[in-house]
Amino acid sequence: AQKVTQAQTEISVVEKEDVTLDCVYETRDTTYYLFWYKQPPSGELVFLIRRNSFDEQNEISGRYSWNFQKSTSSFNFTITASQVVDSAVYFCALSEAGIQGAQKLVFGQGTRLTINP
Amino acid sequence: DTGVSQNPRHKITKRGQNVTFRCDPISEHNRLYWYRQTLGQGPEFLTYFQNEAQLEKSRLLSDRFSAERPKGSFSTLEIQRTEQGDSAMYLCASSFGRTTEAFFGQGTRLTVV
């Protein structure tokens, strides 16, 4: 069965610190996609990144970076020089190959990140 | 495009009543998903539409739940005879094709009292 584990329930740091959110996944599929979403207090899930299982290159987007390691089934997310606006709940997700081409997402429990001024 | 729109944003209902939520996906998106999120948890998949066809339903979707997507445009999720355990955030998402990311709406928060 597909499973995503985000062991860190809550993280609190001071502004400008770097912070890494951990994500470990389990799947039997050889082809899959991994995602990170941000959920601010408004409730909407905001897409951050999608990575397919064949692309292990790390990615950097501004202050955000992602480290995908297939050998350890991890897809960690680092925010550099954190800002108060980064405060939110962050979800890691794995796409499950559903029938008829469905892109079913299996989410972790989320990590609540609080950036203190 | 204004993104995925869900209405209402909040709904309080008495146990035993029926409720209906609406989702308007991004216009060119042919795939539509419903998820349920309870407090402190990640969203859980409920059901999936490709155009107007409902192709997959989760075991979480009891027979009190029904979803439709007439004409492959907006979708509705109805819960009959609501129970307190139905209290949750109901999220709708849409995508174009299988390998593109899903965009989520702001959700409908249901409280059953």
**Which chain A residues are closer than 8 Å to B109 by Cβ?**
43
The pLDDT tens digits for B48-65 are: 999 999 988 998 889 999
What is the pLDDT confidence band of residue A69, given thresholds at 50, 70 and 90?
very high
Which range among A12-21, A41-50, A97-106, B34-43 shows the weakest confidence by mean pLDDT? Answer: A97-106
Question: Averaged over A57-81, what is the pLDDT?
Answer: 94
Answer yes or no: is pLDDT of B101 > 90.
no
Distance in angstroms (rounded) separating the CA atoms of residues A99 and B98? 11
Nearest to A108 among B40, B42, B98 (CB): B42
Angle at the Cα of B103 from the Cα atoms of B98 and B107, rounded to 5 degrees:
130
Distance in angstroms (rounded) separating the CA atoms of residues B88 and A3? 21
What is the pLDDT confidence band of residue B6, given thresholds at 50, 70 and 90?
very high
Closest to B103 in 3D by CA, of B13, B40, B28, B52 = B28
**Does B107 sit within 8 Å of A47, measured CB to CB?**
no
What is the pLDDT confidence band of residue B32, given thresholds at 50, 70 and 90?
very high
- Identify from B58, B59, B90, B99 which residue to disrupt to test chain A contact, counting A C-beta atoms within 10 A and taking the largest count: B99
- Identify from B58, B100, B104 which residue to disrupt to test chain A contact, counting A C-beta atoms within 10 A and taking the largest count: B104
Q: Is B96 on the interface with A (CB under 8 A)?
A: no
